[in-house]
Amino acid sequence: MAKPLPPDWRTVATRTLALTLSLVAALAATVLLIEAAVQDGRDLWDVVRSSLIFVSTAWLAWGAALAFTGLAPARPVAAPDLAAGPAPRTVVLVPICNEDPVTTFARIAAMDQSIRAAGVEADIAILSDTRDAGGALRERHAYVRLLQITGGTGRIFYRRRNDNRGRKAGNVEDFIRRSGGAYDYAVILDADSLMEGGAIRTMIARMQADPKLGLLQTLPRIIGAQSLFGRAVQFAAAFHGPVFTRGLARMQGQTGPFWGHNAIVRLRAFAESCALPELSGKPPFGGHILSHDYVEAALLARAGWAVRVDPAIEGSFEEGPENILAFARRDRRWAQGNLQHIRLLLAPGLPMWSRFVFLQGIFAYLVSVLWGAFMIASIVATIKAPPPDYFPEPHLLFPVFPSDRTKEITTLVFGIAGLLVLPKVAILTGAILSGRARGFGGGLKAGLSVLVEIALTSIIAPLMLMYQSRAVMQVFAGRDGGWPANQRGEGSLTLGQGVQAGLWISAVGVAALVLVAQVAPELTLWLTPVCLPMVVAPLIIALTSRAIGRSVFAVPDEAAPAPVVRRYHAILADWGGTAPATPEPPIREAGHAPV
């Protein structure tokens, strides 16, 4: 087995700088808290609070470091084109499971036309894990229509597995074992993915130009959002996402990320390196690996292959959740998958940075619990604090009043808020100076969108803290969340649905405010920004799912949709959701005879 590729000096310097910034910010927050707490003397709860604020602040500072690292524009590099000689054998893999076949196959039709227009020779393999017989029949009908409008017989294949082991990762693995030898590269998509043929051409050329490149991840842009929540996520992904991802690329170097879709892999490398084990024991910590993409990236790096992400590759798209409930449902699965990585931290042979990436993914969910624990510890510490002693020394003629801790607490609160807000302000400033903001409606409109996004994120954050904390506690309690189907197209929610989804959060918020007002009234003001959104959680869930206009959160893809997106919409409108009446052709397995 080859050794992992060593990081270059730029990557090492970037990592060192980011880690240093995170530690300095965490130490500063801890010192401020200790200075505020020492007024009442030290006890165990002060130690607990200090430890929690250190870890939580370090996590926030790490995210800020990613943004600041990505602010500098990338050096322009000429994109390679396809090498002369025989075209590489490429397949586009589209794993599906219980999806709407009309929208899914319309996307595939649009991509097929874009791929051919770009002069790329590539097959498309639709890999179905749908278990419902009626859904499978609708997929076959949509496949017939797909072949009719594309003339894709012989290059577009469909197969449905009888055994769903391993879910999506197992679906792709099954294809690679049976048919992977027929191809050099595989572009892996999700059912809601769209990619321009030009993007796929660029990715193939990059793989050809670097024989050590095992996986190249693009940054998909979210399209099609209609709701307040969905458009906020879409805007953040388009406006902030490229900067954060550029920082991630500089941070991770050759040991980059894999997000499971909208990426290209070298099939030989993937086949030799990425067979996933089934973990011993029962779910949630045993069984199939849920967050398989992180693990596959680590296994490629362990085998000496480069894994990179490039946000500059244009023409990569996906859809996003339209409401908080859909996001939380998907996040529950990711929480279980990331926490499952606790068992892989000491896996043999992994690069140290891959282990650190696992740790980041784990803390992405633990940090919600840590923030909740910090607030609880702060309440308990305030209750247990001794009453002020105005005459600490005998025979004092005048009382000694305790020092006011407001300055330290205020500095701590604004410092933590700054770690969240300053990176976005810096990104906005850079976008205005570089002219990138013009694609988002200009500097003023982009600035308004950033302000509204920050406000909306702040309101939603307590709800996500509750959802993520519940998910973490369920996983550690041994509760398997399974693999719920994605609810694509799920949009507006009624207030009744909001109550059903968020009443428990409201109850926790009301109980917390009442308790704090009774036992630690001096903390009420500080906890109100957290508890108040929790109290009105059902209303927030319902209102943010409603469709809004384009007065805020404008993105370039709305004003000038990519050709593949326009073609997808045209095909979808033409299909109208009906199945063809013509006989079905044989269903072909890519690389195999008809089945």
CATH for 193:
3.90.550.10
The closest of 223, 290, 300, 218 to 266, measured between CA atoms, is: 300
Rg (CA), the chain: 26
Q: What is the 3-state secondary structure (H, E, C) of 447-462?
A: HHHHHHHHHHHHHHHH
Q: Is residue 140 assigned to a domain?
A: yes
Token pair 């992405």 in the structure block, residue: 364
353 in Cβ contact with 489 (< 8 Å) = no
Per-residue model confidence (pLDDT) at position 485? 59
Q: Which amino acid is at 337?
A: G
212 in Cβ contact with 224 (< 8 Å) = no
Q: What are phi and psi of 303, to 5 degrees?
A: -85, 5
> Element (H or E) spanning 78, and its range?
none
Distance between CA atoms of residues 361 and 248, nearest Å: 14
Q: Is residue 580 assigned to a domain?
A: no
Per-residue model confidence (pLDDT) at position 405? 61
Count up the domains in the chain and report the number.
1
Q: Is residue 22 assigned to a domain?
A: no
Q: What is the pTM for the complete model shown?
A: 0.91
Q: Is residue 270 assigned to a domain?
A: yes
Q: Is residue 507 assigned to a domain?
A: no
pLDDT one digit per residue (tens) for the chain, 595 residues: 578 899 999 999 999 999 999 999 999 999 888 887 766 556 787 888 889 999 999 999 999 999 999 999 888 777 788 888 888 999 999 999 999 999 999 999 999 999 999 999 999 999 999 988 999 999 999 999 999 999 988 999 999 998 888 889 999 999 999 999 999 999 999 999 999 999 999 999 999 999 999 999 999 999 999 999 999 999 999 999 999 999 999 999 999 999 999 999 999 999 999 999 889 999 999 999 999 999 999 999 999 999 999 999 999 999 999 999 999 999 999 999 999 999 999 999 999 999 999 999 999 999 999 999 998 888 887 777 665 554 456 655 545 445 556 666 778 888 888 999 999 999 999 999 999 999 999 999 999 999 999 999 999 999 999 999 999 999 999 998 876 656 555 678 999 999 999 999 999 999 999 998 888 887 888 889 999 999 999 999 999 999 998 889 999 999 899 999 999 999 999 988 544 444 444 444 444 433 3
Per-residue model confidence (pLDDT) at position 387? 59
Q: Is residue 389 assigned to a domain?
A: no
Per-residue model confidence (pLDDT) at position 587? 47
Residue 243 structural domain: 90-222+236-278+290-320+562-572
Q: Is residue 524 assigned to a domain?
A: no
Q: Is residue 216 assigned to a domain?
A: yes
Question: How many CB atoms are closer than 10 A to CB 345?
Answer: 13
